[in-house]
Amino acid sequence: MWRAAALVRVVYYHIFGGAWLTLLFPAMGLMFTLGGSLMARSLDRGGRRAVGARLRRLLPPIWAFGLVAVGLLVYAGWRTPPPTTLGWADLVWWLFPARVPPVGGDAWAWTFVAVLWYITTYLWLVLLSPALLALFRRWPWPSLAAAVLLPVAMLFDVVTVGGYFAEQADHVSAYLALWMLGFAHHDGLLRRIPARRYALGVGVLAVAGAVWVCVAALTTTGTFDLNRIPAGKTLWSIAFVAAVLRFRPRVEWLERIKPLDRVVDLLNGRAVTIYLWHMPAALLAALLFTPSGFEPGVTEIVLRLALVWLLVGIAVVLFGWVEDLAARRRPTLLPRPSAPRAAGAGAAGTGGPPAPALPALPAGPTAPIGPTPATVAALVPAGPAVPPAVSMPPAVAVPPDRPVGRPTGHWNRLMVAGVAAVAVALAGAAAKVVPGPVGGNEQVQAENARYLSDMLLVVDGTPAVDQPEPEPRTRPGAVDLDGATYPNAVVVAAPSRLRVTPPTGCEQLRAVIAVADADADDVEVTFTVQADGEAVYGSGPRTRVSAAEQIDIGIPAATVVDLVATSATGNASAIWADARFVCPS
């Protein structure tokens, strides 16, 4: 159920965005924890062979996905080598995704790699798991504490990882502690901690994570999106997931609701296929839905979600059987129903049918790569070998499949209620408070805002370009203009057109516009905003030396908004810094 819920949450987030959702339900942390618990169980049962088995089940669906992606890109005219270190040789990452593979420059190409950071991170953690599990079982709590502190050390350059796999190292460091928390869950260590001590520890982590998120959002990142807050996402996610692992509600009722039970089976049995294909489906749905003329509102949200899931369902029928072949099962169009669930099974490794050995979902940096995937429309060689069988010391060994008592008592209820209250408070802050640019003169203002960098954009014209080189410790997607840092920039080449559907109820568009990377100081770029095809703003010609300009435009009842940048005098990049739709709070 948790995996299914997390997958649904990720799909919704990638369609509609919402920083509040990442805080209310940090799905990625939960998925990496479940992955770590299942990986520990596999290693106990099969030793190092479990790594090969996990790769065997993971890679074929990615190969099918990559074959379609690269085929479409080549058919569409991809002829120039990727502007990467290895050029065309970087296509090898479609075969073994230890790094996010390249795509061509077409405006829609990003949808095929937008969420692959999760697959690459999962792959690295699987490869490292034999060594990590041996380390954890020798020094369980010190190693887990070190994993929690690692992203903090990397953020402040106490630990640095550069080179070709630097980005993958960042993602692995962010979720390593969650993966090892899965080890602790599988080995039974979490259940052996007294309820009072456990609740107090989770409370400390929750407060630390919440404070970190708020301070970072208001002073550094400019956003409450958990995917964009280094170290903060580790602290908050581990507190949330630790509470989830202790709270084990009964799920016998699920079998009595046959349609919902079947949906959970389908989501888990085809999780990799759903995860890989939901972003192309979301873009196609946006293209099909834009001309429909529906007014923004609940009806529009429901219809768009239904269209995306319909397209995902088509992809599941066309490609989901590859997951059966990879698992050495007889291929079927839809996965077979699972065996009856054990009564009281409430967490991975404690009962119920064997969980799929594949990454069950994405959720989330999303750490975004450059401008977030949703913006432009929008992980170290294998670990050292260990002995074939990694045995648990007697002090740690707890049979993973043995039924255990369900924690009860006021301490557990207090812990769950406290973490839930903090999650709601953080989500409320994310929905209501959006700071101005870091270092700028704007005051923090009460508003419900949606950044373009978190939304699904359709790009027309010249493809989006890379962000300017960020300052140290500045998150990708940030730009510096006139001494102020704007953390949620969308940078595109001129000429270009960004088309987006405004969120329901948002009637104002705010942004800071500027010109960058021009051939010369006199290259001119004109910024235009159109609402339903009618121009509602025009900047006039601007050059690289022009000061950044703030715009605040009313777009009442607009169903489609276009952000257009034109240039007739040379090549330049147009910056839409912290562009966001604003609704009344």
Q: Look at residues 405, 376, 568 and name the one whose alpha carbon lies nearest to residue 464.
A: 376
Specify the pairing of strand 508-516 against strand 549-554.
Answer: antiparallel
pLDDT, average across residues 525-551: 85
Check if the beta carbon of residue 225 is closer than 8 Å to that of residue 477: no
Q: What is the pLDDT of residue 256?
A: 87
What DSSP string describes 504-542? TT--EEEEEEEEES-SSTT--EEEEEEETTEEEEEEEEE
Per-residue pLDDT tens digits for 155-164: 998 998 888 8
Whether 170 has a pLDDT exceeding 80, the answer reads yes
Q: What is the pLDDT of residue 546?
A: 83
**How far is it, in rounded angstroms, from Cα 103 to Cα 124?**
21
| Stretch among 27-31, 74-78, 118-122, 384-388 having the lowest mean pLDDT | 384-388
- Of 363 and 99, the structure prediction assigns the larger pLDDT to 99
Check if the beta carbon of residue 35 is closer than 8 Å to that of residue 357: no
User: pLDDT band at 296, cuts 50/70/90?
Assistant: low
Q: Look at residues 311, 291, 287 and name the one whose alpha carbon lies nearest to residue 456.
A: 287
**How far is it, in rounded angstroms, from Cα 289 to Cα 124?**
38
Q: What is the pLDDT of residue 570?
A: 67
Whether 332 has a pLDDT exceeding 80, the answer reads yes
What are the structure tokens assigned to 197, written together?
A: 């001590």
**How far is it, in rounded angstroms, from Cα 494 to Cα 292?**
28
pLDDT, average across residues 559-571: 81
Spell out the residues 6+ positions from residue 15 whose beta carbon is closer than 8 angstroms to its own.
282, 285, 304, 305, 308, 456
Per-residue pLDDT tens digits for 496-513: 888 887 876 677 888 999
Q: What is the pLDDT of residue 433?
A: 54
Q: Which of 171-180, 338-347, 554-563 has the highest mean pLDDT?
A: 171-180
Q: Which of 377-381, 393-397, 516-520 has the highest mean pLDDT?
A: 516-520
Burial category of 185 from C-beta neighbours within 10 Å (exposed 0-12, middle 13-18, buried 19 and up): buried
- Of 437 and 12, the structure prediction assigns the larger pLDDT to 12
Greatest Cα-to-Cα distance within the chain, rounded to the nearest angstrom: 74
| Stretch among 35-49, 186-200, 202-216, 534-548 having the lowest mean pLDDT | 534-548
Q: Look at residues 347, 346, 349, 321 and name the one whose alpha carbon lies nearest to residue 336.
A: 321
Q: State the chain's mean pLDDT as an integer.
A: 80
- Give the CA distances from residue 199 to residues 244, 462, 499, in Å, rounded to whole numbers and listed in that order: 12, 53, 47
pLDDT, average across residues 117-128: 96
**How far is it, in rounded angstroms, from Cα 255 to Cα 343?**
10
Q: What is the pLDDT of residue 338?
A: 67
DSSP 118: H
Task: Outline where 115-231 has alpha helix (H).
Answer: 116-138, 140-155, 166-187, 195-219
Query: What predicted TM-score, i.e. pTM, was given to this entire model?
Result: 0.73
Q: What is the pLDDT of residue 478?
A: 75
Q: What is the pLDDT of residue 506?
A: 77
Whether 459 has a pLDDT exceeding 90, the answer reads no
**How far is it, in rounded angstroms, from Cα 547 to Cα 528?**
17
Per-residue pLDDT tens digits for 511-533: 999 888 666 667 888 898 988 77
